[in-house]
Amino acid sequence: MTKRSNWSIPYFIFLVLFVVLPLVLVIVYAFQDNEGGFTLANIGQFFSDSDAISTFALSLEVAIENTLICILLGYPAAYILADKKLNRSAVTIVLFILPMWINALMRTLATSELFNVLGFTLGKGTLLFGMVYDYLPFMIYPIYNILQKMDKSYAEAAEDLGATPLQVFTKVTLPLSMPGIMSGVMMVFMPTVSTFAIAEFLTNNKIKLFGTIIQENINSSMWNYGSALALIMLIIIGITSLFNSEESNAAEGGLI
Amino acid sequence: MMKKFFARFYIGILLVILYAPLVFIAVFSFTEAKALGNWTGFSTRLYQSLFTGGMQGGSGLMKAVENTLVIAIISAAVATLLGTIAAIGIHNLRGRKKQAIMFMNNIPMINPDIIIGVSLFLLFVFLHIGQGMLTVILAHISFCTPYVVLSVLPKLSQMNPNIYEAALDLGATPHQALWKVMVPQLRPGMLSGFILAFTMSLDDFAVTFFTRGTVGLETLSTYIYADARKGGLTPELRPLMTIIFLVILILLIIINVRQSKVRGEVK
């Protein structure tokens, strides 16, 4: 038998070239000055730039708020959808998944146009509302997925043993659905903290998020500072993904 | 009974909110007014001008749609091929090597698209590769392939390795055994990997934005972005969005009906 494990070699080379090397370049550029020498000035520039710091804080704040609202609104929805007694229609589930398949820019544009026609002032309120609108399905789906696969007998056993409905929920259902919530958090928090176009649409460019600053710097050829900002975002993402346990990956699969 | 009523009510409200913007766009795709929100009577003129190319606002919308589809089809096809071969290799790897390649495979899935875009932009600058359609496709392959790998791997572990050996024992060449025994069993995983890759590519904005260079390449996403920046939304986007919305709705319903049929048969 030919060595099948060698079949991974082309992809290995591809990954090194198109995934690892680009990230190494971000780090290299972040610590380089215009002449190519080593410097900490780019990172320092971020920490001394109060505008950049406040934008960074705002991005984190919006991403956290958006994630929390999505959990609060999405969990009950996922719970209802997964409950055979409350929902028997597969079409309802399709309707909740469908927005995930439509281009995010298109959906965001539709939202901001609707806000305009309804006469809402575009600002922080519309930004949050639009983000929730964009990302809610990404929270509902993994939670729904895990609730649906959950063994109902655990909850029944708890009931038989005298737990109140509230106890059943807080002590059995909720802990068992944590992996779904965690992968929902990953699917909502990560894109919101790094978005740029969506925020521009939803606030008519009045509010800048961190992604926009990265884009502006890269596009105006400030590659070193732009890379430093990208590196800072990369660190945030790295920290967040550490919180995400491996088991939650199970909830993501099987979109189709 | 009350519980059921509240549940229905809650789901109903969420759906109304989720779909209000899409329905709004769809309704106003059937009127001619340039400004969104003005109703000047029923008309299908926007649909006609979308397809005949007689754009009121900006030309190039159909070209952007074409680019989007070409990029998505090529990227998804290459990603499926690369990802399937990789999955077969990874399946036969053990220990550290397997961990290392799976770790790298996970990076693009966790990495936000803006970082993927910026980092690939730096790569193409560093390697002095002129940016355009080719770099966009390479970039899309890089973030699509991990999903193919993850769709094909479970099919490989479900597969009985003896069947492949049996084919060899019965005189099949390794080539025949691969195509006649292995590939048919991997096909469902390859298909869902392809569909995932295809939609990821269609949906992308940030990576395309950073890797398309300055040759004027527009995809639907970058077209919409540029359009919104100018302020005036091309009216033909309304019928286009309506059509895309309906196509996806019909596709998803077909897929789900077929799936529940398959499940019913298994039972």
Give pLDDT, residue A244: 67
Tally Cβ neighbours within 10 Å of residue A194.
Answer: 25
CATH 1.10.3720.10 fits A61-235, yes or no: yes
Q: Which of B11, B20, B196 sits opposite A80 (nearest CB)?
A: B11
Query: Measuring CA to CA, which residue among B246, B266, B257, B230 is closest to residue B58?
Result: B230
Give pLDDT, residue B53: 64
Asked whether the beta carbons of A118 and A227 are under 8 A apart, the reply is: no
Give pLDDT, residue A202: 86
How does the average pLDDT of chain A come out, rounded?
85
For chain A, helix, strand, coil in percent to 5 are 80, 0, 20
Q: DSSP characters for chain B? A: -HHHHHHHHHHHHHHHHHHHHHHHHHHGGGB--SSTT----B--HHHHHHHH---SS-S-HHHHHHHHHHHHHHHHHHHHHHHHHHHHHHHT--HHHHHHHHHHHHHHHHS-HHHHHHHHHHHHHHTTPPPSHHHHHHHHHHHHHHHHHHHHHHHHHHS-HHHHHHHHHTT--HHHIIIIIIHHHHHHHHHHHHHHHHHHHHH--HHHHHHSTTS----HHHHHHHHHHHSPPPTTHHHHHHHHHHHHHHHHHHHHHHHHHHHHHH-
A182 vs A188: CA distance, rounded Å = 10
pLDDT in tens, B178-213: 888 888 989 999 999 999 899 899 989 999 999 998
Task: Indicate if the pLDDT at residue B54 is higher than 80.
Answer: no
Residues of chain A with pLDDT under 50: 1, 247-256
Q: Is the pTM of this model over 0.90?
A: no
Give percent of chain B above pLDDT 70: 93
Tally Cβ neighbours within 10 Å of residue B131.
Answer: 20
Residues 6+ apart with CB under 8 A from A219: none
Residue ranges of the domains in chain A? 61-235
Which positions in chain B touch A251 (Cβ < 8 Å)?
none
Give pLDDT, residue A248: 46
Give pLDDT, residue B125: 92
Task: Specify the DSSP element, H or E, that contains A228.
Answer: helix A223-243
pLDDT in tens, B230-253: 776 788 888 988 998 898 888 888
Q: Is A222 helix (H, G, I), strand (E, B) or coil?
A: coil
Chain center to CA of A173: 24
Give pLDDT, residue B79: 97
A209 vs A96: CA distance, rounded Å = 28
Give pLDDT, residue B32: 82
Give percent of chain B above pLDDT 90: 43
Tokens of B145: 């392939």
pLDDT class for B55, splitting at 50, 70, 90? low
Phi-psi sector, A205: left (phi>0), alpha (psi -120 to 50), beta: left
Quick one: B109 exposed, middle or buried, by C-beta within 10 A (0-12, 13-18, 19+)? Answer: middle
Task: Indicate if the pLDDT at residue B11 is higher than 80.
Answer: yes
For residues B250-260, average pLDDT: 79
Say yes or no for a CB contact (<8 Å) between B205 and A197: yes
Number of helices (H), then strands (E), belonging to chain A: the values are 14, 0
Give pLDDT, residue B204: 92
Q: DSSP characters for A23-65? A: HHHHHHHHTB-TTS-B-SHHHHHHHH-HHHHHHHHHHHHHHHH
Which positions in chain A touch B26 (Cβ < 8 Å)?
none
Q: Does any CB of chain B come closer than 8 Å to the CB of residue A175? A: no
Query: Measuring CA to CA, which residue among B232, B221, B240 is closest to residue A103?
Result: B221
pLDDT in tens, A43-59: 888 888 888 899 999 99
Query: Measuring CA to CA, which residue among A1, A197, A46 is closest to residue B178?
Result: A1
Give pLDDT, residue A18: 95
B143 vs B113: CA distance, rounded Å = 9
Which positions in chain B touch A195 (Cβ < 8 Å)?
114
Amino acid at A96: F
The 3-state secondary structure of B202-249 reads HHCCHHHHHHCCCCCCCCHHHHHHHHHHHCCCCCCHHHHHHHHHHHHH
Give pLDDT, residue A83: 84
Q: Does any CB of chain B come closer than 8 Å to the CB of residue A117? A: yes
Tokens of A35: 């002449």
Which positions in chain A touch B257 (Cβ < 8 Å)?
90
Give pLDDT, residue B267: 42
Cα–Cα–Cα angle for A130, A135, A139, rounded to 5 degrees: 145
Give pLDDT, residue A256: 40
CA distances from B251 to B23, B76, B199, B258 (A): 18, 18, 13, 11
Task: Indicate if the pLDDT at residue B254 is higher than 60.
Answer: yes
Which positions in chain A touch B69 (Cβ < 8 Å)?
none
Q: Using the structure block, give the residue that is written with the tokens 């569909």.
A: B195
Give pLDDT, residue B103: 92
pLDDT class for B162, splitting at 50, 70, 90? confident
The residue among B127 and A3 whose pLDDT is bigger is B127
Q: Does any CB of chain B come closer than 8 Å to the CB of residue A72? A: no
Phi-psi sector, B95: left (phi>0), alpha (psi -120 to 50), beta: left
Say yes or no for a CB contact (<8 Å) between A96 and B15: yes
Tokens of B99: 């961990």
Say yes or no for a CB contact (<8 Å) between A77 and B10: yes
Say yes or no for a CB contact (<8 Å) between B89 and A190: no
Give pLDDT, residue A43: 87
For residues B57-69, average pLDDT: 82
Give pLDDT, residue B232: 66
Q: Does any CB of chain B come closer than 8 Å to the CB of residue A7? A: yes
